[in-house]
Amino acid sequence: MTIANQYGQKSVVIGIIWYLWHLSFMYGPYSLQKEFVFILVLLVGSFLALKVTKRTKSLVSAIALHFSFSVLTNIPLPANSYIPIGAMCFCWLLLYLFWNKRGWTFSRHI
C-alpha cells in the first residue's frame, strides 16, 4: 500500500467523521455547495493533520495546526493581517519540512 493511498483512506474516514462531528448543515443557511466545500476542506485537513502527525510523531502539532486554521477561519481578521498569516504559514512549512531532519521530535524523550 502506497503512502498516499494509506493516508487517503484514513483521511476519508476521519474527514467524514469530522464532518458528522461538526453537523454544519444544522446551523445557519444550508446549501449543497457550502456542504460540499466544507467536507472537501475537512478531507484535505484530515490528510494534512495525518501527515503532520506522522512527520513530527506528535499529536500536539496536529492540534496546533487545527487551532491555527480555526482561528483564521472563525475570527474576523483585520484588513492588514496578511503578513502575520503568511508568516504563520511559512513557519508551519518550515516545521513540516525540517522537524525530523534535525532531530526535532518528542518521541526520543518519551
**Per-residue pLDDT tens digits for 82-100:** 777 787 788 778 877 776 6
pTM to 2 decimal places: 0.63
Spatial CA neighbour of 45 closest among 15, 80, 8, 73: 15
Listed range (55-59, 75-79, 91-95) with the worst mean pLDDT: 75-79
Give the HSE-up count for residue 40: Cα atoms under 13 Å, Cβ half-sphere.
6
Looking at per-residue pLDDT, the higher value among 37 and 96 belongs to 37
Alpha helices in the chain (DSSP H): 3-22, 32-56, 59-74, 82-98
Average pLDDT over residues 57-84: 76
The number of beta carbons lying within 10 Å of the beta carbon of residue 110 is 7
Are 7 and 50 contacting, i.e. CB atoms less than 8 angstroms apart? yes
* C-alpha grid cell, residue 88: 504563520
* C-alpha grid cell, residue 46: 484530515
